[in-house]
Chain A
Amino acid sequence: MDKVLHDTQYVSRLIEEGKSLYLAGDEQALAKLPKGNWIGGTIPYFMAEEGGEVNRDNVYVTELPGYIKNTKIVAYDEEGLKNVYEDAYDNGFSLILIPAMSSIHFSFALNAPDYKAFGKSPLVGWISGVHLDDLGKVTPKVFNGSDGQVYENKALVIHCELPENKYATLDIVNIFDQGPGDKITFKSSGWDADVVLVNGEEMNFAEYVEKKQLDTRLPLVADYSGARINISFQNVDRENGKVVFYAPVFEGMEYRHASEIKDYVKEFTEHLPTDKSDKIAFSCNCILNFLYSDLEGKKTPGVTGPITFGEIAYQLLNQTLAYLTIEDVPN
């Protein structure tokens, strides 16, 4: 497997050679890089070639393939982000970065499926974060290498155009399944919930979680027409009777608490499509998988990438691997 984590001098050389890059690194590392055709998000957690790693010095590099015809970097505010799909090239893909805990993060999470031209081309990326020791002290950021701007509340996207003989696809690996337990529905969409319907019966969700002793390391899982989409627990606030999530729950959607996972790496390996791993152009995985499954030092075979505060595959995801593949159009 090629090396993916590099020191800033090496990355600077790539930028100066005119490479188009999609980067992940600690804020101090990204701040050392020269201007060029790149965007980057802050995070010091990675699945690198040697396994899960925390690294504040080096930068995870996704070098865009040389056959890409065109790229355009766009900084979006909350209002403008609704055009992200329309702005994409007809044949291509778009790589996005959004700073965690910003209003644009919350807005994207709630509204992306309603954006005009949803799904016109693959939109993949991640939510930037910070070292967990720095939570509350340092804000997640995104860096626009083309003009040197650094944002805490804008999304950055590098739209990429592919030649006619290539196509990109986007998919996810989610090892969590809906468990056999209660059906949970929410009365309104949002990032937290107090009163919910459990098998149609109204009750306080924080009390329910406590009474049932739910393992909150396991997400709620919804069935999106065959795709399993997770909502991760952030906090159960028993005092205020509220449960806070890492992604919004949606009104009317049916969720169930996930079944237990015994061995993340084993399950992950079994779920990863083996015919795709050599075609993966970019992937990212969730910091909750990294933490709860103790992935530091462990390898997820064939797959590297930043470990993030949220994954994006058309919309915001939790505890999921998102990956982009680029393949040749069959003759």
Chain B
Amino acid sequence: MVISDQALKKILTGQSNPQFNFLALKILLTRLKMNIKKDPQLSGYHTYKQEIVDLLAKNQNLPSVQRDVQTIMGVN
């Protein structure tokens, strides 16, 4: 699963706040955003990204996840 670092960083830092459908993604993103409040330099970015990619990959057959992946790809 290819997800743009630029898009994901915008989402994780709150520069972009798209609406997602998949409940587990909403919970995970919220936890990661709280981590990032203590890690504004995003030193743990690769771990954060891996958690998101793993979650989406494991649920890639769900229509809500497919929509959310498209949403992430649409973040510029």
What residues make up the interface of A, taking CB atoms closer than 8 Å to B? Answer: 90-91, 113-114, 117-121, 167, 169-172, 222, 224-227, 229, 250-253, 313-315, 329-330
Q: Which residue of B lies closest to A252 (CB)?
A: B34
Are B27 and A314 closer than 8 Å at their CB atoms? yes
In the complex, which residues of chain A have a beta carbon less than 8 angstroms from the beta carbon of B55? 118-120
Asked whether B28 lies within 8 Å of A113 as measured between CB atoms, the reply is yes
Measured between beta carbons, the chain B residues less than 8 angstroms from A90 are 58
**A91 CA / B26 CA spacing, docked (Å):** 20
Contacts of B54 in A (CB 8 A): 117
Give bound CA distance, A118 to B55, whole Å. Answer: 7
User: Contacts of B62 on A, CB cut-off 8 Å?
Assistant: 167, 169
Mask, B1-42, CB within 8 Å of A = 1, is 000000000000000010110011111111101100110000
Residue ID in chain B nearest A169 by CB atoms? B62
B59 at interface, CB cutoff 8 A: yes
Cα distance A172–B26 in the bound complex, in angstroms: 12
Distance in Å: Cβ of B13 to nearest Cβ of chain A = 13
Residues of A within 8 A of B47 (CB): none
- Going nearest first, the 9 A-B pairs with the smallest beta carbon separation are A119-B24, A225-B26, A224-B30, A227-B26, A225-B29, A113-B31, A252-B34, A120-B58, A119-B55
- 17 A-B pairs whose Cβ atoms sit less than 8 Å apart in the complex: A113-B27, A114-B31, A118-B27, A118-B55, A119-B25, A120-B55, A121-B59, A167-B61, A169-B64, A224-B27, A224-B30, A225-B20, A226-B20, A227-B26, A314-B24, A329-B61, A330-B63
Q: Are A117 and B26 touching (Cβ within 8 A)?
A: no
A134 to B26, CA, bound (A): 37
Tell whether, in the assembled complex, residue B27 and residue A172 are in contact, meaning their CB atoms are under 8 Å apart: no
Contacts of B58 in A (CB 8 A): 90, 117, 119-121
Indicate if the CB atoms of A225 and B59 lie closer than 8 Å.
no
- Residues of chain B within 8 A of A114, CB atoms compared: 31
Given contacts A119-B58, A224-B30, A252-B37, 5 further A-B contacts (CB under 8 A): A167-B61, A169-B62, A169-B64, A227-B23, A315-B27
> What CA separation (Å) do A120 and B24 show in the bound complex?
9
A262: shortest Cβ distance to chain B, in Å? 26
- A90-B58, A117-B54, A225-B29 are known contacts. Are A170 and B23 too (CB-CB below 8 A)? yes
Q: Within the assembled complex, what's the spacing in Å between the Cα atoms of A313 and B24?
A: 9
Main secondary structure of the interface of A (DSSP, over half): loop
A252→B20 CA distance, assembly (Å): 21
Q: Which residue of B lies closest to A118 (CB)?
A: B28
| Interface residues in B, total, Cβ within 8 A | 25
Tell me whether A253 and B34 are in contact (CB under 8 A).
yes
Report how far A117 CA is from B33 CA in the complex, Å: 18
Q: Considering the chains assembled together, what is the distance between the CA atoms of A325 and B75 in angstroms?
A: 30
A87–chain B nearest beta-carbon distance, Å: 14
Name B24's contact: one of A118, A226, A329, A330 (CB within 8 Å).
A118
| Complex-state Cα separation, A223 to B33, whole angstroms | 12
Q: Chain A residue with minimal CB distance to B54?
A: A117
Contact with A along B36-71 (1 / 0, CB 8 A): 011000000000000100110011011110000000
For B59, give its contact among A119, A224, A250 (CB under 8 Å): A119
Please report the C-alpha to C-alpha distance between residue A227 and residue B34 in the assembled complex, in whole angstroms. Answer: 15
B28 engages A226 (CB within 8 Å): no
- Please name the residue on chain A nearest to B64 by beta carbon: A169
Chain A residues closer than 8 Å to B27, beta-carbon distance: 113, 118-119, 224-225, 227, 229, 314-315
Please indicate the chain B residues that have their CB under 8 angstroms from the CB of A229 in the complex.
27
What CA separation (Å) do A268 and B55 show in the bound complex? 30
Q: Give Cα distance in the complex from A250 to B38, angstroms.
A: 14
